[in-house]
Amino acid sequence: MTTTVDATSQEGGGPDTESRRRWREAGMWRRGRIIAGLAVLPVLVMLLHAHIPNRTGNIGSLTETFLPWTGLAVPLLAAFALARRSATALVALTLPAVIWLALFGRTLIDKRADGGDLIVASHNVNNDNPDPTGTARALIASGADVVGLEELTASAVPIYEKALAGAYKYHAIRGTVGLWSKYPMSGTRSVGIMEWSRALRSTVQTPRGPLAVFVAHLPSVRVNLDAGFTADQRDASARLLAEAVRDDPVAKAILVGDFNGTANDRALAPVTSQMRSAQGAAGDGFGFSWPAAFPMARIDQILVRGVEPVSSWTLPATGSDHLPVAASVDY
């Protein structure tokens, strides 16, 4: 008995093979529809975050604090899409990718430049800092002309005063915040943002004229299952701080400190709407400053009014749970 073999079938062609190929191609578009649907979620968060209400647990502010991290949804879902070999899901993921780049793409550009008339630094030194002397040395090494410190304790203040005295001739402390300067200071006073002093204001007489410098440590926030994102006290303090900055008679001003919130957080708009972020204008990347071990948010701010940011950066870690931040400005 003679068996005849179809040459077309031997070569892998024929109607059956073509049908299977078309079925596979069609399957790439049918598969992964759930993944494609999930791609809509980061899009909605990025486009509509301002409409997420704060009435319950300040969810809107919490979302805005970590808004840049919504971009992680794209590579995560892309990995699932590739595993499923889903063309539909991969195409759908271009939308959140484009929107994220539209919102944050400019942040990734290095906008730093050389020079600057004055360097200012800010650091929440942490009340449990095991090495305040080393922290002070790191701040001196930054070359800052003006340094604001937050979370000072009564026991640590003499250590910082001694360690910084050689580099900064002038300083003032009000409660748990302090300001050190190479230039004369006047008109120093507490700023009433809480029942105890966590903010101060001073006029620094720089070679180019008077500069109002504010140092502030806004109240901490907490995230818990019962109350959500508890930030009411911080928000009230931000409004009081905004009033003090707005009413200050000196045209050129710099505000530094630990805001316990990012520039994206709507609750801080009373302050951020009247001043520019040095990191946003002259930084490289997001400049995350907290927590120091794995920075996830820029809650330590340098904001300016009437002066031009030239460069902004974070300093190496110290004994604190925050990274120090610094900026140079022209005025």
> What is the average pLDDT across 116-142?
98
Q: Give the tens place of pLDDT for each residue, 50-77.
A: 999 887 778 888 899 999 999 999 999 9
Domain boundary among 54, 78, 108: 108
Q: Can you give the CATH number for the domain in which 170 is found?
A: 3.60.10.10
Looking at the structure, tell me whether residues 173 and 301 fall in a common domain: yes
Q: Is the pLDDT of residue 20 over 90?
A: no
What pLDDT score was predicted for residue 16? 64
The pLDDT, as a whole number, for residue 223 is 63
Average pLDDT (290-314) is 98
- φ/ψ (deg, to 5) at 203: -95, 120
The structure's pTM equals 0.87
Determine the pLDDT at residue 220.
Answer: 86
pLDDT for 238-269, tens place per residue?
999 999 999 999 999 999 999 999 999 999 99
Q: Which of 53, 88, 108 is the last residue of a domain?
A: 108
* Domain membership flag for residue 65: yes
Q: How far apart (Å, rounded) are the C-alpha atoms in residues 220 and 232?
A: 10
Q: Is residue 113 part of a domain?
A: no
In the predicted model, what is the mean pLDDT of residues 78-83? Answer: 95
Residue 104 and residue 123 share a domain: no
Domain final residue pick, 108, 140, 169:
108
Q: Is residue 2 in some structural domain?
A: no
Please indicate, yes or no, whether residues 127 and 169 belong to a single structural domain of this protein: yes
**In the chain, how many domains are there?**
2
In a domain, 1, yes or no: no
278/306 same-domain check: yes
Looking at the fold, whether 101 and 172 belong to one and the same domain comes out as no
Same domain, 171 and 37: no
- When mean pLDDT is compared over 3-12, 14-23, 214-223, the highest value belongs to 214-223
Mean pLDDT of 13-17: 60
Average pLDDT for 225-243 = 81
Cα–Cα distance measured from residue 256 to residue 214, given in angstroms and rounded to the nearest whole number: 6
In this predicted structure, what is the pLDDT of residue 7?
A: 45
Domain range enclosing 214: 118-330
Collect all residues with Cβ–Cβ distance below 8 Å to 145 and sequence separation of at least 6.
118, 119, 120, 181, 182, 183, 206
For position 224, what pLDDT does the model report?
60
Q: Output the pLDDT for position 1.
A: 47
How many CA atoms does the CB half-sphere of 314 hold within 13 Å?
22
pLDDT in tens, 176-187: 999 999 999 999
